[in-house]
């Protein structure tokens, strides 16, 4: 016990002594480290700034050629010569040697042979005694002749939507369509003519075919000739964008790939002007874009023409940059058409030209008259009185050379005239060509003469009959020639 107490007192004594020694010792204060002193008055010489070299411009690659909005401008036609484009008819396909028909193979047992031209029997309504399904509809599915299979409310809804909501007039189906390789395909509304259907004219192959409605109202088939529908050699499927027909899919046996021609949407409107016998309704067609285009009054003759054919022609002109004004001759709008003569037609043409020359989108210095076929005599008479900037005379098979005026009247034409001789029988215009060449060479008349025989095949010519001139006018070649000549008059 005494030892423990001594250890405790010893520890306490040493602790008190250590504390007393610590308080008796004075240590110097600890100072912070000295900072580095920097002289800030020294100024260094600025380094010269070396400019960066100018970047070398990198040539941008040329853009890929696209489908031109307008056809390329052709070389100007000579004004002092007669141009003959081609007087040779298109080559006819060589007749193939008839081979002996191969013997038909014997049908296998339990196999029924079906003819490729076999048609479906007439559609019959379901019989009352037929067994019905739970929903009250026949268990059988009936196939209509147009290839539509329908059964139930969902099918009826689809048919109603396609038939009512997506409905387009004939003006949307017809028109000028152009491919990427500048191939023009025309859809002509000829349902009110002897053709009875839409026509398709291919400017590349020079073929004319009728379209047969196949499936719904947007799919048509093409046959091997104008009036033959089978065997099917191609199809046309119209495609819409918004509320307009924009293009169609063309598939034919002649091409290895499908084509997608795009429609050229020309601007069309109904107008009216004052004539000698009262107000005359007319159709005015303009190119798709811009203003200030050249314009023509189209005179197709005193006879009543189908509006679909006339519209196809004016759309062709507007596709090539020409505004076109057309009107019906007097008496064509009656229940019993009784068209007036060439004199009344010439008077109405003068009134139409006055309206066209005053239109703000054309102007008097860009307005002319276009006589087509039987309308050439009236166009010449109206041009002598109205004084247009130019005159186009398209001489076709539908015009008799004896209906044209004589040398004295032709010599009085002191304006530029484009004489386009076309059709199958261009040789009968030789006396007129001699007169025109004499007036051009001796009397210095501004006559441009182009002889362009029809290049259509014999089969198409026979099918067209007396309406061949209308299909020729719709052809892309004639409109392009006249539009090029008019542009060179500036």
What pLDDT is attached to residue 94? 55
CB-based contacts of 298: which residues, under 8 Å, 6+ apart?
310, 313, 314, 317, 324, 325, 326, 370, 372, 375
What pLDDT is attached to residue 196? 84
CA–CA gap between residue 425 and residue 395 (Å, rounded): 10
Among 42-51, 332-341, 433-442, 466-475, the range with the most confident prediction by mean pLDDT is 433-442
Evaluate whether 301 touches 272 at the Cβ level (below 8 Å): no
Among 14-28, 51-65, 193-207, 420-434, the range with the most confident prediction by mean pLDDT is 420-434
**44-53, 167-176, 434-443, range with the lowest pLDDT:** 44-53
Evaluate whether 366 touches 389 at the Cβ level (below 8 Å): yes
Around Cβ 2, how many Cβ atoms within 10 Å?
Answer: 5
Q: Is residue 68 scored above 70 in pLDDT?
A: no
What pLDDT is attached to residue 101? 52
In tens, the pLDDT along 338-369 reads: 777 788 999 999 999 999 999 999 988 899 99
- Token look-up 């008190």 returns 16
Which comes out higher in pLDDT, residue 383 or 39?
383
Q: Name the CA dihedral angle for 302, 307, 313, 315, rounded to a multiple of 10 degrees.
A: 140
Around Cβ 435, how many Cβ atoms within 10 Å?
Answer: 15
In tens, the pLDDT along 223-239 reads: 998 888 999 999 999 98
Which comes out higher in pLDDT, residue 245 or 172?
245
Which comes out higher in pLDDT, residue 90 or 191?
191
Q: Are strands 82-84 and 447-453 parallel, antiparallel or unpaired?
A: parallel
Predicted confidence band of residue 388 (pLDDT cuts 50, 70, 90): very high
Among 79-88, 131-140, 288-297, the range with the most confident prediction by mean pLDDT is 288-297
Strand ordering across the sheet containing 417-423? 82-84, 447-453, 417-423, 391-395, 367-372, 294-299, 322-327, 278-286, 267-275
Q: Name the CA dihedral angle for 39, 43, 48, 52, rounded to a multiple of 10 degrees.
A: 50
Neighbouring-strand partners of residue 190: 197
What pLDDT is attached to residue 355? 95
Which comes out higher in pLDDT, residue 380 or 78?
380
Q: How many residues appear in the chain?
A: 490
First-to-last alpha carbon distance for the chain, in angstroms, is: 140
Q: Is residue 174 scored above 70 in pLDDT?
A: yes
Average pLDDT over residues 331-338: 74
Predicted confidence band of residue 34 (pLDDT cuts 50, 70, 90): low
| Number of DSSP helices (H) and strands (E) in the chain, helices first | 11, 17
Which comes out higher in pLDDT, residue 356 or 208?
356
What pLDDT is attached to residue 220? 94
Evaluate whether 67 touches 182 at the Cβ level (below 8 Å): yes
Q: Are strands 197-202 and 184-190 parallel, antiparallel or unpaired?
A: antiparallel
Average pLDDT over residues 123-132: 48
Q: Is residue 40 scored above 60 in pLDDT?
A: no
Q: Are strands 367-372 and 294-299 parallel, antiparallel or unpaired?
A: parallel
CA–CA gap between residue 300 and residue 286 (Å, rounded): 18
Q: Are strands 447-453 and 417-423 parallel, antiparallel or unpaired?
A: parallel
Average pLDDT over residues 307-327: 89
Q: Is residue 272 scored above 90 in pLDDT?
A: yes
Average pLDDT over residues 60-65: 50
Encoded tokens for 127: 């019989």
What pLDDT is attached to residue 116? 43
CA distances from 251 to 222, 261, 377 (A): 9, 11, 43
Q: Is residue 274 scored above 90 in pLDDT?
A: yes
The residue among 121, 90, 184 whose CA lies nearest residue 458 is: 90
Encoded tokens for 471: 């299909």
CA distances from 175 to 172, 186, 201 (A): 7, 6, 11
Evaluate whether 386 touches 299 at the Cβ level (below 8 Å): no
CATH topology of domain 266-487: Rossmann fold (3.40.50)
Predicted confidence band of residue 250 (pLDDT cuts 50, 70, 90): very high
What pLDDT is attached to residue 186? 87
Which residue ranges make up each domain of the chain? 173-262, 266-487
Predicted confidence band of residue 173 (pLDDT cuts 50, 70, 90): confident
CB-based contacts of 405: which residues, under 8 Å, 6+ apart?
377, 380, 381
Strand stretches in 61-102, DSSP E: 82-84
Average pLDDT, rounded, for the chain: 76
Among 13-17, 67-71, 447-451, 479-483, the range with the most confident prediction by mean pLDDT is 447-451
Q: Is residue 141 scored above 50 in pLDDT?
A: no
Q: Residues 144-159, buried b or exposed e (16+ Cβ, 10 A)?
A: eeeeeeeeeeeeeeee
């Amino acid at each position: 016990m005494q030892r423990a107490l001594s250890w405790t007192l010893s520890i306490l004594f040493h602790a008190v002594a250590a504390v007393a020694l610590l308080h008796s010792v004075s240590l110097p204060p600890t100072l912070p480290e000295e900072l580095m002193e920097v002289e800030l008055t020294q100024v260094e010489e600025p380094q010269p700034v070396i400019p960066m070299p100018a970047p070398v411009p990198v040539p941008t690659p040329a853009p890929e050629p696209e489908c031109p909005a307008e056809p390329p401008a052709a070389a100007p036609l000579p004004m002092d010569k007669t141009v003959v484009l081609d007087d040779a008819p298109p080559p006819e396909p060589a007749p193939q040697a008839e081979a002996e028909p191969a013997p038909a193979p014997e049908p296998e047992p339990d196999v029924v042979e079906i003819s490729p031209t076999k048609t479906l029997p007439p559609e019959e309504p379901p019989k009352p005694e037929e067994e019905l399904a739970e929903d009250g509809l026949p268990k059988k599915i009936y196939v209509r002749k147009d290839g539509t299979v329908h059964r139930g409310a969902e099918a009826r809804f689809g048919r109603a939507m396609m038939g009512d909501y997506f409905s387009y007039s004939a003006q949307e189906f017809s028109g000028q369509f152009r491919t990427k390789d500048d191939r023009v395909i025309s859809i002509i509304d000829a349902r009110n003519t002897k053709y009875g259907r839409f026509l398709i004219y291919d400017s590349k192959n020079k073929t004319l075919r009728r379209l047969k409605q196949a499936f719904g109202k947007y799919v048509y088939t093409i046959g091997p000739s104008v009036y033959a529908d089978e065997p099917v050699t191609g199809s046309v499927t119209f495609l819409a964008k918004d509320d307009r027909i924009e293009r169609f899919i063309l598939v034919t046996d002649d091409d290895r790939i499908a084509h997608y021609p795009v429609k050229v949407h020309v601007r069309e409107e109904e107008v009216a002007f004052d004539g000698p016998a009262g107000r005359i309704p007319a159709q005015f067609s303009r190119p798709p874009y811009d203003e200030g285009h050249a314009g023509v009054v189209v005179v197709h003759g005193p006879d009543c023409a189908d509006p679909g054919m006339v519209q196809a022609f004016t759309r062709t002109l507007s596709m090539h940059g020409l505004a076109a004004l057309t009107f019906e001759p007097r008496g064509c709008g009656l229940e019993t058409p009784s068209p007036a003569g060439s004199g009344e037609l010439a008077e109405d043409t003068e009134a139409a030209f006055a309206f066209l020359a005053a239109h703000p989108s054309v102007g008097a210095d860009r307005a002319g008259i276009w006589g087509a076929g039987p309308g050439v005599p009236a166009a010449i008479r109206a041009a002598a009185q109205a004084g247009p900037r130019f005159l186009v005379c398209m001489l076709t098979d539908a015009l008799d050379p004896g209906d044209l005026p004589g040398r004295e009247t032709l010599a009085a034409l002191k304006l530029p005239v484009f004489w386009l001789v076309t059709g199958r029988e261009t040789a009968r215009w030789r006396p007129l060509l001699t007169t025109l060449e004499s007036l051009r060479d001796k009397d210095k008349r501004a006559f441009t003469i182009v002889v362009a025989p029809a290049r259509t095949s014999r089969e198409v010519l026979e099918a067209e009959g007396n309406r061949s001139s209308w299909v020729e006018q719709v052809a892309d070649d004639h409109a392009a020639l006249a539009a090029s000549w008019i542009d060179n008059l500036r």
